[in-house]
Structure 1
Amino acid sequence: MQRMALEGALKCVYWFAKTEVAHTTNYKSLLDFVKGMDCSYLEHLNQGGNAHYTSERILQEFLQSISATISETVFDDIKSSPAFSIMMDETTDVSVMKQLITYARYIKISGNQAEVKTLFVNIDDLVDGKAETIVKSTEKMFEDLDWSFQQCSAFGSDGAAVMVGSKSGVGQRLRRNNSHLINIHCIAHRLLQHNP
């Protein structure tokens, strides 16, 4: 019963993440609502006098566990893909910290079926927006995820000089790890640069 209760709580947390509903303020009320829908097994979350599995800390741990499980599957799919590409863009968070967002586009093969997928894979804080810093962040990501640069077929970016510079841009620096890497200027960013 305790295992069922834990699985039920994890499903509630997963629902919050999947539907993008604020979880920290609604988690306990959702559990109470589900208990009232004849899911009384959730009462087994209460262990002893003070362990109720409703705190913000446990909620964050649930989210991290779900995230790690999903990420592991996705990263393995990318690693086993015959080829994949990465797309990167810089952003700034509310504290004005530079961040690098990375997506991967890959081929997921299941039996005789092949499907092209695009998924978020990483966000990294950057000390600056220099090409060398971005390349180091990318190389670390590849190393941490045990991905091969030889499988990476293309690099997409916003077309900023730091990304596509012909001498020392990120794309050119990444080509040192894979001479066949195609450097692509994102079409959505290119459309914004029209001449009247």
Structure 2
Amino acid sequence: MANTNTPSHLYPNLIQLLQSAGCPDLNSVHTYTHHETVNQMEEAMAMTITSTIDDRIANSKYVGVIVDETTIIKVEKMLITYLTLQHKGEPETVFIGNYVIPSGAAECITTKIKDVLSGRGVAMARVVGLGSDGANVMVGRKAGVAQKMRLND
């Protein structure tokens, strides 16, 4: 349901449909049918995924940050953020989040990146790289995000 953005209130109907179609696994065991169950399952999965990623972040000596600005339909600026980690000796890229930012200015983006990293337990001294689309706001020599992150360790 999460993969298809199906509203959780449709969960009981989906279970009934599958049971009436004779799905063997759904007819022989107790099945949760309340729509709140979907929300609880999604929250449990999200917590498990977040915990796993946090463990990998904690175990990676260095991290690289990959960011890009996006704009959603409501015309809100967003900052999509990934980290590149070292997991069992191999590089691994993990999605961290898509965050609302007040503006696309370098200072605002830098502040958000630092807040996100701090919130995930990543000290700036562990950051060894920044990946971006190459826009001036990201890599500008004097006032880009890369420069601001370097100067404000």
Length-normalised TM-score, structure 1: 0.67
Give 1:24's aligned amino acid. P
Mapped contact 1:24–1:59 kept (Cα < 8 A): no
Give the count of matched residue pairs.
Answer: 148
Tell me which of 57, 74, 88 is aligned to 2:53: 74
**Over aligned residue pairs, what C-alpha RMSD do you find?**
2.1
- 3-state SS of paired residue (2:98): strand
Alignment of 1:1-196 (within 5 A): 16-17=1-2, 20-24=3-7, 27-32=11-16, 33=18, 36-39=23-26, 40-43=28-31, 45=32, 52-53=33-34, 55=35, 57-109=36-88, 114-178=89-153
The alignment partner of 2:61 has SS state of coil
Query: Identity of paired residues, percent?
Result: 29
In structure 1, distance between residues paired with 2:133 and 2:5: 31
Q: TM-score, normalised by structure 2?
A: 0.84
- Separation (CA, whole Å) in 2 of partners of 1:84 and 1:71: 17
User: Using the alignment, how far apart are the partners of 1:71 and 1:38 within structure 2?
Assistant: 29
Distance 1:91 1:127 in 2: 12
Paired residue type of 2:15: L
Tell me which of the two structures has the higher relative contact order, counting C-alpha pairs closer than 8 angstroms and 6 or more residues apart: 2
Q: What SS is found at the alignment partner of 1:175?
A: helix
Task: Work out which of the two has the higher radius of gyration on C-alpha atoms and give 1 or 2.
Answer: 1
Does the 8 Å CA contact 1:104/1:118 hold for their aligned counterparts?
Answer: yes
Q: Which amino acid aligns with 1:85?
A: G
Unaligned runs of 5+ in 1: 1-15, 46-51, 179-196
